[in-house]
Amino acid sequence: MCGIIAVTGAADPLRILLDGLELLEYRGYDSAGVALVCSGDAGGFLWRRRAAVRAQSIPELHKEADTAPAHARAGIGHTRWATHGAPTEQNAHPHLDCSGRVAVVHNGIIENHREIAAGLDARGHVRTSETDSEVIAHLVEEHLAAGATLAQAARALLRTLRGDFALALVSADEPDLIVGTRRTSPLIAGRADGLGLVASDISAILGLTRNLVAIGDDEVALVRPGSIAVTDAEGNEVAQQLLQVGWEVEAARREGFEDFMSKEIHEQPRALADTLLGRIGADGTTELEELALGPHELRSIDRVTVIGCGSSYHAGMVGRLAIESWAKLPATAEIASEFRYEEPVVDDRTLVIAISQSGETVDTFHGLREALRRGARTLVVTNVVDSLMAREADGALYTRAGPEIGVASTKCHVAQLALLQVFALHLAALRGTMPASASARLAAEIARLPGVLEDVVGRFEEYRGVAQALAGVNDVYFLGRGLGYPIALEGALKLKELAYVRAEAYPAGEMKHGPISLIVPGTVAVVVATKGRLYEKVLANVEELRARGASVVAVCNDDDDTAPRLADAVLRVPAVPEALVPAVAVVPLQVLAYSVAKARGNDVDRPRNLAKVVTVE
Ligand code: F6R
């Protein structure tokens, strides 16, 4: 999420910043900005320009190049993917302190920004954005006023800030210096002939140097022209972790992965962690303060309809089951393009939740409008802050998966699953429909999901090995029951769109009512057979398929030895509470579709006939 670049010692720092931002644009493109450190007759000063024209912000900044002071040697730049605050120019980075002499660019989320902002406001600071990032500039301002250096101020930040962050700082009073620090979010420093560099991604500076240093968690890098010093949080110099990079720039953008899709599959633990950050308290309570639909409004709801298309619809199916079983509200999930024309019966006691990664899918947008026209309360779950739908609905909840470049949704889908379930817990708590202890247990399990997914994406090659056997198939059934059914639908969709293989998803128990006559020796069936209420029933359905000669691939738990005995191949996943299986079990199916598509020579990032944002009906 978001991209950072900083340079010092350059004859033309603005050009380096803008070139770097272009390479970083895939990390966020709703706004961009730069600040240069300049020296003038009356001392140093900062020159800042920002633009917020979606996907066009960097060309806008180029237009400002003629007005940039010629004598600047250092600067910082940022391309943004909004999480806190709309993608406006005011919210674009770099952010300045009150004096305009300190600038910061920041990636990540400052969890305690509200608390910090309240203190700053009380001490008379004037904040000009809605971001969590701006507080950093004002905190640095206070430390500098108390006599600290920029590096000392950065170390003090490490004691104050909570959350995940990577940031670069400049001050008009230390014109050659870039200070970078981080916790969890990545940040690197680089050195070349007379140049010092800081960036969130290797790709942004790889064209300038291969002398790269990884800044560690809670370390502070002092970068000057041609030199890098790294200290720990106490100011002791530490050994530098040199980075060996064999990649070229294009591969570096994919962080060495073959394509964006495999990169994004691997980013799922982080996408989930960012999405959950600050939303589940230590006591298991849910915190969705940005929701904009207050407790009173939510308590008045007597029915929920979830709408979406494709993968978002599948996430909606899982979300609606959680809402029904935890918040005890009648809930349905509808395909948005159908919902719109169904004359839906909704009123001001119905909550319509529109799910859309892009926030722009026209079918979902019109479904949302139809719900609004009929007087429903509306909520959007999207990955794009202030997107078309977010602006239209009564409330918005944002997944924080960062930009998804691959056309097939992966990390946004799992982030949607988790966020909808957090919302379901939130509703259940408001309505008092779940014992607090049960809800706290589930919340704790949701909070553990990023770690579980880390394990699952670590099995990428194992899943890919299983998928090799399916490279030549032309027909696949995906079967599941209960929560396994939306997973089956998602697996089938992925195989269709990426591998161009006919794939049909069916509720496993429904096969005997017709489709089973299509099963002949060798037909491939992928069955979601993880442990849960319907496990035995699913195994019985697997027996029915095997009796007709089907070749079965089972998604099953690590500790299961029954399902593997019935299957020809297994895709194993760790056991999690049944309600949380979708976010875990969908991963091997993503890898399955990915691998079959690759084996067939397809472009997984840009499958034929598809677009990332579908703006036609
Ligand atoms: C499938 C996929 C699509 C999208 C659908 C809705 O991998 O990505 O099915 O889920 O086009 O898009 P959004 O979520 O942007 O509304």
Q: Do the domain assignments include residue 432?
A: yes
Burial class (CB in 10 A: 0-12, 13-18, 19+), 368: buried
Do 509 and 361 belong together in one domain? Answer: no
pLDDT at 437: 93
CA-nearest residue for atom 6, ligand 1, is: 309
Q: Are 404 and 590 in contact (CB under 8 A)?
A: no
**From CA 594, how far away is CA 264, in angstroms rounded?**
12
Ligand 1 nearest atom to the CA of residue 416, by list position: 14
**Which of 198, 221, 245 finishes a domain?**
245
Q: Do the domain assignments include residue 607?
A: no
pLDDT tens sequence across 353-399: 999 999 989 999 999 999 999 999 999 999 988 788 998 999 999 99
Q: What is the crossing angle of helices 268-276 and 436-457, to 10°?
A: 150
604 within ligand 1 shell (Cβ under 6 A): no
Q: What is the DSSP string of 298-341?
A: HHT--EEEEEE-HHHHHHHHHHHHHHHHHH---EEEEEHHHHTT
**Which of 245, 268, 293 finishes a domain?**
245
**From CA 544, how far away is CA 508, in angstroms rounded?**
10
Beta strands in 310-421 (DSSP E): 331-335, 350-356, 377-382, 395-398
User: At 547, which helix (H) or strand (E)?
Assistant: helix 535-547
416 within ligand 1 shell (Cβ under 6 A): no
Q: What is the DSSP string of 566-588?
A: H-SEEEEE----GGGHHHHHHHH
Do 541 and 436 belong together in one domain? Answer: no
Do 554 and 588 belong together in one domain? Answer: yes
Q: CA-based diameter of the chain, in Å? A: 88
Do 383 and 450 belong together in one domain? Answer: yes
408 within ligand 1 shell (Cβ under 6 A): yes
CA-nearest residue for atom 7, ligand 1, is: 408
CA-nearest residue for atom 3, ligand 1, is: 310
Please tell me the distance between residue 488's alpha carbon and the centre of ligand 1 in angstroms: 16
Q: Do the domain assignments include residue 303?
A: yes
- Going from the C-alpha of 279 to that of each of 113, 124, 322, 420, the distances in angstroms are 14, 29, 17, 12
Please tell me the distance between residue 413's alpha carbon and the centre of ligand 1 in angstroms: 9
382 within ligand 1 shell (Cβ under 6 A): no
Do 510 and 572 belong together in one domain? Answer: yes
Do 35 and 182 belong together in one domain? Answer: yes
Do 206 and 129 belong together in one domain? Answer: yes
CATH number of the structural domain spanning residue 238: 3.60.20.10
* Closest among 19, 25, 27, 40 to 1, alpha carbons compared: 27
200 within ligand 1 shell (Cβ under 6 A): no
Q: What is the crossing angle of helices 134-145 and 150-160, to 10°?
A: 120
Q: Count of domains in the chain?
A: 3
Q: Do the domain assignments include residue 606?
A: no
Q: Are 198 and 187 in contact (CB under 8 A)?
A: yes
Count CA atoms within 13 Å of residue 182 on its CB side.
Answer: 21
- Residue 307 has phi, psi (to 5 degrees) of -125, 150
Domain encompassing residue 288? 256-457
pLDDT at 81: 84
Beta strands in 184-286 (DSSP E): 188-192, 195-199, 212-214, 220-224, 227-231, 241-243
Residue 293 neighbours by CB under 8 Å, 6+ apart:
351, 377, 379, 394, 395
**From CA 488, how far away is CA 503, in angstroms rounded?**
10
337 within ligand 1 shell (Cβ under 6 A): no
Do 591 and 483 belong together in one domain? Answer: yes
User: At 363, which helix (H) or strand (E)?
Assistant: helix 362-373
pLDDT at 614: 74
Do 143 and 154 belong together in one domain? Answer: yes
Q: What is the crossing angle of helices 411-431 and 310-327, to 10°?
A: 20
Do 288 and 426 belong together in one domain? Answer: yes
Joined together, the tokens standing for residue 465 give 């090995």
Q: What is the mean pLDDT of each run of 10 residues along the chain (617 residues)?
A: 92 96 83 92 89 88 91 94 88 97 95 96 97 97 98 98 94 96 92 95 90 94 97 96 78 85 96 94 87 90 98 98 98 96 94 95 94 97 88 94 90 98 97 94 96 98 96 95 98 97 96 92 97 96 94 97 97 97 98 98 89 72
Ligand 1 nearest atom to the CA of residue 310, by list position: 9
Q: Which residue among 306, 309, 356, 382 is best mutated to probe the pocket of ligand 1, counting the most ligand atoms within 8 A of its Cβ?
A: 309
Q: Do the domain assignments include residue 614?
A: no
Please tell me the distance between residue 361's alpha carbon and the centre of ligand 1 in angstroms: 8
**Which of 419, 442, 457 finishes a domain?**
457
pLDDT at 102: 98
Do 217 and 291 belong together in one domain? Answer: no
Q: Do the domain assignments include residue 314?
A: yes
Q: Which residue among 337, 358, 368, 416 is best mutated to probe the pocket of ligand 1, counting the most ligand atoms within 8 A of its Cβ?
A: 358
- Going from the C-alpha of 229 to that of each of 214, 238, 473, the distances in angstroms are 12, 8, 56
Q: Which residues are catalytic?
A: 2, 612
614 within ligand 1 shell (Cβ under 6 A): yes
409 within ligand 1 shell (Cβ under 6 A): yes
Q: Do the domain assignments include residue 497?
A: yes
CATH number of the structural domain spanning residue 371: 3.40.50.10490
Joined together, the tokens standing for residue 516 give 């089973």
Do 408 and 452 belong together in one domain? Answer: yes
pLDDT at 545: 94
CA-nearest residue for atom 9, ligand 1, is: 310
Q: Do the domain assignments include residue 612?
A: no
- Residue 350 has phi, psi (to 5 degrees) of -100, 135
**From CA 346, how far away is CA 304, in angstroms rounded?**
9
